Chains A and B, each alone.
Chain A
Amino acid sequence: MAKKEPIKNTDDFVEEKEYSILNLGPTHPATHGIFQNVLKMDGEIIHEATPTVGYIHRAFEKLAERRPYNQITTLTDRLNYCSSPINNMGWHMTVEKLIGAKLPKRVEYMRVIVMELSRIADHLICNSVIGVDTGAMTGFLYIFQWREKIYDIYESICGARLTTNMGRIGGFEREWPQKTWDLIDAFLKNYPKALQEFANLLERNKIFMDRTINCGPISAEMALNYSFTGPNLRAAGVDYDVRVATPYSSYEDFNFTVPIGTSGDTYDRFMVRQEEMYQSMDIIKQAIKNMPKEGGFHADVPDFYLPPKEEVYNNMEALIYHFKIVMGETDVPKGEIYHCVEGGNGELGFYLQSDGGRTPFRLHFRRPCFIYYQAYPEMIKGSMLSDAIITMSSMNVIAGELDA
């Protein structure tokens, strides 16, 4: 079967031709999240697309100016809600950088485990949804069971499934129970088999390959110009990963490969995410094997980390710290900080300007989805409508992160 070429030369279209305008509206089953695209089409081929975003703008940055530092974690949950722990940890690391806290290695390894688990959860949703958009419902239905297993792990750590609010500034709120470690071991043992079944459905499936190869490609140069990061950039061939470039939370101790693609099309994005899931499992295994025995579960930052209740009732200093932290009266150093982590979609950055008050003076989230979605009209120019849908779902655009 001939390789499908997207029609890129839209100059062939004559000016007097009548184009139809199609509104791929905010409520559409295939746009995961609410975005509107007004498409100018010639039959089935898209000539031009005008996106509109902002349908779920919740004013995070203004809201953050009102909340003390430990209350902003709940906002960061709701950015990329498919992988909330990564956002939470990124925020905690930003504040720790600001106050100059050093964490014990054990806490950093625990953070790495949680972040890699959430990366697996995020890529799992994205890949199964690419399958659903090409028509393959089965993969989604059954691979979601494994996301439920990850939810069980989150629940045993922090109590919540999706919007986790996990961890505190300085570490975790409590030591992980034995159940967590057992669940993680069971997951690592059983997930590769399920992932292999999912891969068998789609990876070398002729229908899937015909639909996704050469669908919505982007060159490495254009991707860098549009400030792409994350799996979308790696699928285009640029090996940039924040975990390798500016390691945080002891990522330099781990040995892992960064998968890259060649043509930046949907198939490459799918495969990059598949391989990243295997790499994440490898990192978790290394973390569990090399986990230091001593270190506890939090750093020694009494100004920000709540003291245990026994001390609060018996010790004057602990009582004062408790009062100051809960009322949000802790003094934070003045300064500006930019910290970035590798989120599920790319470089998630936190730009914080602090004026010494109890709330940030200015907090800006560098949201990868917002930045790379601007290239979407370019990517779908000349392709057919169904290919445009698959391109959008393979870019993993999450509405919460796009509009913030």
Chain B
Amino acid sequence: MSNKPIKRTKLEMAKSPEGIEGPGFFAAKLQDVIGLARANSLWPLPFATSCCGIEFMATMASDYDLARFGSERLSFSPRQADMLMVMGTIAKKMGPTLRQVYEQMAEPRWVLSVGACASSGGIFDTYSVLQGIDRIIPVDVYVPGCPPRPEQIIEGILKIQELAKNESLRRRNSPEYKKLMNSYGIE
């Protein structure tokens, strides 16, 4: 045993939302409770197309385990997923498929664009590559990198968790959101 002082990481469990506590009851805002539940159980749909997909595999594997943040169940069916992770280059041939998968997802849904190619076309400024997926679907968080390290991908997911935690329950029906969807041509 060495004599170095043990460094203890400051662990923070999920904080309970603000509310009024009493014997046998806890009153809080519905939005906070639902936000907490959504944020800590985001089920991703990995749309892995190229090199970023391999870094995603590294994120899912045991070294950088993504499951501990709540994304244990990868769902390849759009109807059962919350978060669309687009990893890798999207060519123009693939665009309609991506759009279809996004439209099939049920609300609430978040989109994480991983890597330079998905965010802006990356190093491939060519006739066949879509210069960024935000030309066809609305994106919530962009993770730059070529490819981004697993820690960066996890940070991107944590940012989506923050978005999910603080989102108002009425957001998906609000006129601003409808305007955003209409600007992409999605009903």
Contacts and interface: CB of A to CB of B under 8 A. Distances in A.
B76 interface: yes
Contacts, number: 88
Interface in B69-121: 74, 76, 88-89, 91, 93-94, 97, 101
Contacts of A224: none
15 contacts: A27-B97, A28-B76, A34-B49, A54-B93, A55-B94, A56-B49, A56-B89, A56-B91, A56-B94, A58-B128, A59-B127, A148-B58, A163-B146, A400-B50, A403-B91
Given A141-B61, A142-B62, A147-B58, A55 B50 contact: no
B91 A27 contact: no
Interface in B117-137: 123-124, 126-129
Contacts of A144: 57-58, 61-63
B72 to A, nearest CB: 12
Interface stretch (A74-82, A99-107, A247-255, A325-333): A74-82
Interface string A51-82: 00011111100110000000000100010011
Interface of B: 47, 49-51, 53-55, 57-58, 61-63, 74, 76, 88-89, 91, 93-94, 97, 101, 123-124, 126-129, 146-147, 149
Interface residues of A, number: 35
B126 A62 contact: yes
Contacts of A400: 50-51
A25 interface: yes
B93 A148 contact: no
* Nearest 3 interchain pairs by C-beta: A144-B61, A29-B76, A59-B126
A34 B94 CA distance: 9
Interface of A: 25-29, 32-34, 54-59, 62-63, 74, 78, 81-82, 125, 140-142, 144-145, 147-148, 151, 161-163, 399-400, 403
Contacts of A57: 91, 93, 128
B47 A59 contact: no
Contacts of A34: 49, 94
Given A74-B123, A140-B61, A161-B149, A58 B89 contact: yes
A397 to B, nearest CB: 13
B61 A145 contact: yes
Contacts of A140: 61
Nearest to B96: A26
Interface of B is mostly: loop
Nearest to B101: A27
A15 B123 CA distance: 50
A58 B61 contact: no
A400 B49 CA distance: 8
Given A34-B49, A63-B126, A400-B50, A141 B62 contact: yes
A303 to B, nearest CB: 26
Interface centre among B61, B101, B147 (most CB of A within 10 A): B61
B129 A59 contact: yes
Contacts of B146: 163
Given A58-B126, A147-B58, 15 more contacts: A55-B93, A55-B94, A56-B94, A57-B93, A58-B124, A62-B127, A78-B50, A81-B54, A125-B54, A141-B62, A145-B61, A148-B58, A162-B51, A163-B146, A400-B51
